[in-house]
């Protein structure tokens, strides 16, 4: 069984917009082979804010 190590490279909080997930999806599809992964979650304390995170996988 192969275990992947995930390292957080950057996290930024920004104003949520409906289409942000499209950017994250495109980045994940395009840069998967570069061992990069992108995440988007809503802020726990403010539904108008999103947390965008860049990860390196190994």
Facing residues of 40 across strands?
A: 52
Q: How far apart are CA 32 and CA 3, in angstroms?
A: 16
DSSP 7: E
Q: How many residues does the chain have?
A: 58
What is the pTM assigned to this prediction? 0.87
Q: Looking at the domain assignment, is residue 53 inside a domain?
A: yes
Q: Looking at the domain assignment, is residue 33 inside a domain?
A: yes
The total domain count for the chain is 1
What's the pLDDT tens digit per position in 4-55?
Answer: 799 999 999 999 999 999 999 999 999 999 999 999 999 999 999 999 999 9
Q: Looking at the domain assignment, is residue 1 inside a domain?
A: no
Quote the domain boundaries for residue 21. Answer: 6-57
Q: Rounded to whole angstroms, what are the CA distances from 45 to 42, 48, 49, 50?
A: 9, 9, 9, 10
């Amino acid at each position: 069984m192969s275990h992947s190590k995930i390292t957080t490279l950057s996290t930024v909080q920004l104003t949520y917009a409906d289409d942000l997930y499209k950017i994250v999806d495109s980045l994940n599809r395009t840069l998967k082979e570069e061992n990069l992964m992108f995440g988007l979650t809503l802020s726990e304390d403010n539904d108008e804010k999103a947390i965008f995170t860049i990860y390196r996988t190994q």
